[in-house]
Amino acid sequence: MQEILDSFDNTEFWYIDQGILAPDADGSASFRRTLQRQEEKWWLPVPRVPPGGLHENSRKQLQHKRDSTNQILKAAMAINSITISDMEIPESYMDALPKV
């Protein structure tokens, strides 16, 4: 995972703060229009790309990184799920639950 994070240097895309967002004033394109839920998360930066978009090689590399990261996430979630299901629930916790 660290290797994936470390590979994000000298990228064709960048991020800008939504608080200083001017509508395409710098000539770049934004994903803002497609991420409508972004308004709920105003603190997250908005990704920007050059006016012509990303080169094909950059797109392929980003897709590969996304796929790899998704596989890591799925494996971690499976490990967590198995670990939690194997854990014993303390009796004190069970006693503290509301009785229905």
For 35-44, the CB contacts below 8 A with 24+ separation are: 42/18, 43/18, 44/18
Instruction: Express each pLDDT in 30-70 by its tens digit.
Output: 555 544 555 677 777 888 888 888 889 888 988 999 999 99
Q: Which two tokens stand for residue 37?
A: 């839920």
Q: Select the more confidently predicted residue: 100 or 26.
A: 100
Contact 25, 36 (CB under 8 A): no
Phi, psi angle pair for 48, to nearest 5°: -130, 150
Q: Name the pTM for this structure.
A: 0.59
Contact 17, 45 (CB under 8 A): yes
Contact 30, 53 (CB under 8 A): no
Q: Which two tokens stand for residue 81?
A: 């799920």
- Kindly state the percentage of the chain with pLDDT values over 70: 76
